[in-house]
Structure 1
Amino acid sequence: MSKVFFVTSAGRGLGVDIARQALAAGHQVVATGRRPETVTEALGGEQDNLLVAALDLTDPDTAEAAVRAAVERFGRIDILVNNAANFYAGYFEVVSPRQMRQQIETNVFGPMNVTRAVLPALREQRAGHIMTISSLAGLVGQEFCAAYTTSKFAIEGWMEALRLDVAPFGIRTTTVEPGFFRTELLVDASTTWPELAVEDYAADTAAQIEGWKSMNGRQAGDPAKLAAALLTVAELEEPPARFVAGADAIASVEAKAKELLAQVEASRKLGMDLAHDDA
């Protein structure tokens, strides 16, 4: 059955693959981006099942306008794909407070703005599915990723709580944790390097920047295959709360789960008996 997909950042990277494959599968797609002309060009021009809408994640008014246009055109929204994100790299002390705030503004408040705009339509329908692209970095901390990891851990907590909030209205949620995929996250338009300098980090910072730049275009994951997997998840009657995507992510999350269990066990003796004596 045809569904209406609402996809953010559909002009490049994974968003293009999701929108293309949804259209090819016969779905209707609301493809959004800061530059609508770029989205239209990426998706091959105007199509009956395609609505291209301007959306700036940091501007709630544009999100609300895009949602209104989607409902006016297609009558409903079935699946929101919060895909847009960027990457502020760096060790914590060399990421400026301004950069940290900008990372949170885009990667956390951005999808929150879009979801807040979409939720009234989903609640009225008593149905819908919110898929938010997080990252392996939302479950496992990584060196040189203080800002990005902070933003993705925040997404994990928000989505886990949101799932409980919206379940009574027939709305499902899935948090997607991809490993390293050959998207455009590491291109200059999406990656920002540290703007502060601390001598103790200077050599490692230079090496990390070189390493991250060399990784661009060489990641193992295929975004077209990830997009196809996400369409499969979207078809499930009971979609998973989390979808860990990529062999690297699955291995890392398995290791993290074992580490957490070991830490719980190590805390048991000292951590269990801490209640008031009269409790």
Structure 2
Amino acid sequence: MAASYHTRSNSFPTRSHPQILEVEEHLRRLRSSQAASTSSLGHELNGLQDLHDSVEKILQLPLVQQALARGHQKKWVDELLNGSFKILDVCSTAQNALLQMKESALGLQSVLRRRRGDETELTSEIKKYLASRKAMRKAINKTLGNLKGVENECSPSINEEHVSVLKEVEAVTLATFEYLLSFISGSRTPSKLSRFALVTKLIRPKRIACQEDQTEMNEFEKVDAALSTVVGHKTIKSDNIIYMQNQLKEMESSIQDLEEGLESLSRRLIKARVPLLNILTN
């Protein structure tokens, strides 16, 4: 076993190689981070960008390309390519969910701005928004269910040391996306929250309500809660309108930040695939 291990190590950078150490440092940071807000999620997406930049550097090394190009290694190249495709697919799901949320929010804000005492159009738009959220959650839950099976596939318990590192990158990336999707869909649906508690949040002093909301709900959940509270009411108070507009603005800002992070990450994921594709085609 020892001889076999050293043979592999001589044909691929060891864990003491500066670029391998760089990847492992990014992995350590991502594993230890605990995203609980859009801001911290944005930091994690930036961390993923740095991680996949480092991975691309490793895959560009001639020594690495020669090692992976050997016949018995190409099965790992196939697996790594399949893994990167799954990551891009999940990234696309997150981007589509955010785009859907943004379009629904813009439609709702447009109605809120031009409302003149008639609740019919507003109520209809709110119901449309909540129906869109329900459909989006269904799609996200399906993706999250598929990710459960993928987690076992990319477990880094692999004999090939270099492949183990790259598979761990895959596992950590998917875990971050899993949290991101859960964050977007909302860990709790409005129906699971006390209706009385939601109404209380709307009439509570702004400073106290804000402090409690920050610890209990993210930006997406706050909008869900605010809209669910007024559905079915014959009249919607102006205070509730203002509250909904403020929450929608906060959510739109969060969506913008996450969209920018995902767009930048997507470009890096595609770049990191190129060396692997070159190995298979050359």
TM-score when normalising by structure 2: 0.29
Greater strand share, 1 or 2? Answer: 1
RCO higher in structure (CA 8 A, sep ≥6): 2
Task: Name the TM-score, length of structure 1 as normaliser.
Answer: 0.29
